[in-house]
Amino acid sequence: MAIARAENSPWEPRCITRIFSPLRSDEIALTMTGWAMLDAARSPLMIGGPLKTLAEVREAAAVFGMNVEGLELEDVARVVQTMEEAVSAAFATTLAMRPKDAGPSSGGNDGFGSFLPILSCLITQVRISLSEALALRVDRAHALIAGMRRNEGWECHGTAYALRELEEEMAAAENSKEGANA
């Protein structure tokens, strides 16, 4: 019943409305350029790992237009947490999709990575300029491509955006249940 309610809701999925709403003053977002810069620096943020050195923190902070020089340790920790959350949120809108009637996926890596195919799609299929594509937030890029693919008749092969909200609600309910039992 909850799945049907989520799939048939008159409201847009919250994850989509969040990413197309303006950032709050205390939020940052990863852009396509930021993705390229962090990846080129082999930042652990890009693979969900912790920043281990002050040099890594400085380099990542610079990508987001921040400077940690002169900050107290607690403030540096908040900056790191904010960057980790921004990178995580950027890739949370990734949605696996495949053309209808497509055969089984090879599932293999073709050596292109993810950045170039996404950038190419933004330019050639979403039809935005290179500078616009590079300035675009990564979460928005993923959502735009998923929306375009859906409009082309592709099928979702991951957790649909509407069901992600349901998963979040179920996880929150489970966490509150565990907290009450502790």
**Confidence category of residue 9, pLDDT binned at 50, 70, 90:** confident
At 124-178, the pLDDT tens digits run 999 999 999 999 999 999 999 999 999 999 998 888 888 887 777 777 777 777 7
Domain boundaries, the chain: 10-94+113-158
The residues, any chain, with a CB within 8 Å of residue 46's CB and separated by 6 or more, are 35, 38, 39, 87
Residue listed under structure tokens 């292109």? 112
- Which of 37-41, 53-57, 146-150 has the weakest average pLDDT? 146-150
The residues, any chain, with a CB within 8 Å of residue 51's CB and separated by 6 or more, are 43, 44, 45, 57, 60, 80, 83
The residues, any chain, with a CB within 8 Å of residue 132's CB and separated by 6 or more, are 122
Please give the Cα distance from 34 to 172 (Å, whole number): 31
